[in-house]
Amino acid sequence: MNLFGGFRIALTALGANRLRSSLTVLGLVIGIAAVITLMSIGRGAESTVTSYIEDLGTNLIFVQPGADVDQGVRGSTGTGSTLTMDDAKSLEDSLQTPAISMIAPEKATLAQVVARGENLRSRILGVTPEYEQVRNFSVEQGLFISEQHLQSRAMVAILGSSVKETLFEDSNPIGQRILVNGKPFTVIGILERMGGTFQGLQDEIIVVPITTVQYRLSSNRTTEGKQTIQQINVQIGDGHDIEEAKSQIRQVLRIEHQINGEDDFSLTSQEEVIDAFSGIIGTFTLFLGAVAAISLVVGGIGVMNIMLVSVTERTREIGIRKAIGATRRDILLQFLMESGLLSLVGGAIGVMFGWGLSKLFSRFEFNEQTIETLVSPDIVLLALTVSVGIGLFFGIYPATRASKLDPIEALRHQ
């Protein structure tokens, strides 16, 4: 029996019981659509996180207080008190750190912000002028922090877009006063809206000079009495690699901190952060796919059921075919082709439904954030392969049972 003949026979057999075949295909359609939809949501989340981290800047190393808890994964940021502005200045020495192009320290605190009768609790981020370039902060209106603001510990603020909308709605806040923990600040700029689940965090902050945070809002100090900072953002220069820059940073800070034993700071590259988050979300995506795959197994059981019924109903047909020369291999391939065809059709329709559901979910919002979905070719290929594989796997037993029927007994079957 050639493949074309087997395909024609399989199509005729399945078409003879359209309703039963359709219901069997429906089980596979639901399973495939569920796998594609859930995995596309997971992939979308992974893509969103990666995009957010990449938008923070390029070729970055994050220096944070406290020793590494694990490779690429830390405890709570800023729980230590080992980094100071002196550390940031020491890393600016091009003779000791030629791999570094720019340094941007930061220090954050929470504060109650009041303006025009409106109030909110916001994250106050203290930065230097270099922060705008290192971390890709863009000012939509007004100015960013200047060196003069830094030196004078100026009471000036740049509002995130969401903060601006909450406090000032549609009016222009430039030049207006806000109270931060009861202290008056003048608004000099508004940050561009980032939006998205993770990027939206930037919309909720207020940027001020780092010296203003240190001396007017949060005066945490080291045991030596120096003002602390929470993180140093290091941008690597062109032509230099991450490990080279890390080695130089570690050497400078160990001398600065007079360390003989373990480091009291940690270095995390941008790539390590992306890999860590991608690993976590990737595992979550596989979990979603595994949960959805349960419905595929149920659909496979449906395929086995219909094939067993088909073998029973067509016992006499099998006997006639064997009597006129059909081999066990021919009968086996015929029934395997039928189960494979069911799975392929179910998989193809399931892919279309899954793609449609993914697009539909991408229109929804959760907590005012759009759900990102991403249907990649490997997800579609995996779903189709698993669908056909399940169909063939669950079709093996009925096909084997059909091929082993004794032709004489089969001909006697009523």
**Three-state secondary structure along 199-242?**
HHHHHHEEEEEHHHHHHHHCCCECCCCCEECCEEEEEECCCCCH
- Residue 179 phi/psi, 5-degree rounding, is -105, 125
Distance, CA of 80 to CA of 66 (rounded, Å): 5
Q: What is the pLDDT of residues 83-119, one digit of tens each?
A: 898 999 999 888 889 999 999 999 999 999 999 888 8
Q: Average pLDDT of the chain?
A: 82
Q: Which 8-state DSSP code applies to residue 261?
A: S
Q: What is the pLDDT of residues 166-222, one digit of tens each?
A: 999 889 999 999 999 999 999 999 999 876 444 447 788 999 999 999 989 987 777
Distance, CA of 330 to CA of 68 (rounded, Å): 64
- Contacts of 24 by beta carbon, 8 Å cutoff, 6+ apart: 299, 302, 303, 305, 306, 342, 346
> Regarding predicted confidence, which is higher, 407 or 111?
111
Q: What is the pLDDT of residues 44-79, one digit of tens each?
A: 877 777 777 666 666 889 999 887 655 444 444 444
pLDDT of residue 73: 44
Distance, CA of 244 to CA of 360 (rounded, Å): 46
Distance, CA of 327 to CA of 294 (rounded, Å): 36
Tokens linked to 137: 């902060």
Q: Which 8-state DSSP code applies to residue 98?
A: T
pTM above threshold 0.75: no
pLDDT band at 275 (very low <50, low <70, confident <90, very high): confident
> Regarding predicted confidence, which is higher, 331 or 210?
210
pLDDT of residue 382: 78
- Contacts of 321 by beta carbon, 8 Å cutoff, 6+ apart: 330, 331
Share of the chain above pLDDT 90, in %: 28
